[in-house]
Amino acid sequence: MYSDYGFLKAKNSSEASSLREFSTYDIVRRLGVISPTRVHLKNHPIDQPVTVFNAALAVKDSMVHVYARIILGYYMYVSGIAKITFPIEDLLSGLVNFSHYTAELILYPTMKYDIWGVEDPRVSEVDNKLYMVYVGRTINYFNPAIRRERTAPVLAYEATRDNWVKTHVFIQPKENREHVISDKDAFIYKVDGKPFLFHRLHMDDEQTYLVISEIPEEVISERKHVAGRVVEVVERKTTVVLDPAPFELKLGWAGPPVKVGKSEYLFLIHGVDKEMEGYRVFAALMEYSRNEGFIVKAVTPYYIMEPRQTYEVFGDRPNVVFPCGSWLIDKDIMLITYGAADYLIGFGTLSVSETLSLLDKGRIY
């Protein structure tokens, strides 16, 4: 067991954390950005969002579907999610830096689990269907008297084109619920035929935990869903994957992983440093075994992406690259979408083979 909350611990997690150092070898090729001045909402009276960032991603039939966090005003910083679609050629040719795009507001606050904001989506394809997990700012978010469950991961699926239905909210077991301050940086993904929730818990010991939890199969199985009803689902067998390095405050999951072997998966993870509280990215290689669970096989000894462009260094939140989207667009090329300084949507590509080569330098076995 790990910690007073009954969390399990992934094999090799301590060894992996000890291999990391505070340096960067940036291997992400920047493709461009979308700014809020070039995004136009077609189903809201406000034409342009104030900011557009932290976007999820899906690529289908040479079309890029971006699911971006948008803010329409700064008063309470309440977010929604808008979908932007364009040809992948816009990225490869650089047109994305100049083009204007129509956006559709698809998810926004409607209930107690997300009334103060719908944030930081991650989209994954499970059994040929698109699922999104976003961070819901709950009814407790601004209440100074209740420092509990201020955010929660909410699941939605694409029922029909551009029609996303909220179905579940993920919660810790009864004995832990009163100790959860927030739960975020989440997505679902199937490993070895089993669905898991990848998420990051902030508990009342003031520690954050990068974790994976089992979730029931019925969460993603075909069934009739009662419109407007969101079901609470208990996270099971929560396992801590990695601890922050000595130079970090916390870790968080980026987008869904890429499968690189029979049972091996390449993950991107962001880390927040203690000195400047900047956001950088490193990679981890994990394996899943039915007997041993998740096993950390390697980490990049250094970060592979950090804020370096002006738009990554200067914005609403300086020094931030915050990936939320990842999609394999070629057998060796991963497309990523990321929030740049909490103001723009950034796009980049990553070579899978180069990343695996760097992981060899931080291999445990």
- As a whole number of angstroms, the distance between CA 28 and CA 207 comes to 30
Could you tell me the residue range of the domain that residue 59 belongs to? 8-362
- 3 domain-assigned: no
- 1 domain-assigned: no
The pLDDT of residue 226 is 65
**DSSP 3-state of 91:** helix
Kindly give, in sequence order, each residue whose CB lies less than 8 Å from that of residue 101, ignoring residues fewer than 6 positions away. Answer: 34, 38, 39, 40, 84, 85, 86
The pLDDT of residue 3 is 67
**DSSP 3-state of 137:** strand
CATH number of 154's domain:
2.115.10.20
The pLDDT of residue 14 is 87
- 219 domain-assigned: yes
- 320 domain-assigned: yes
The pLDDT of residue 47 is 95
Q: Are 86 and 63 in contact (CB under 8 A)?
A: yes
Q: Cβ atoms within 10 A of the Cβ of 43, count?
A: 11
Q: Are 241 and 252 in contact (CB under 8 A)?
A: no
- As a whole number of angstroms, the distance between CA 156 and CA 166 comes to 4
The pLDDT of residue 221 is 77
Burial class (CB in 10 A: 0-12, 13-18, 19+), 97: middle
The pLDDT of residue 220 is 87
Kindly give, in sequence order, each residue whose CB lies less than 8 Å from that of residue 229, ignoring residues fewer than 6 positions away. Answer: none
Helix spans in 168-278 (H): 174-177
- Burial readout 298-308 (b: 16 or more C-beta within 10 A, e: otherwise): bbbbbbbbbbe
**Ranges under pLDDT 50 in the chain:** none
- 103 domain-assigned: yes
* Number of compact structural domains in the chain: 1
The pLDDT of residue 223 is 61
pLDDT in tens, 93-134: 999 999 999 999 999 999 999 999 999 999 999 999 999 999
The pLDDT of residue 4 is 81
pLDDT in tens, 47-84: 999 999 999 999 999 999 999 999 999 999 999 999 99
Helix spans in the chain (H): 13-18, 89-93, 174-177, 310-313, 352-359
- 2 domain-assigned: no
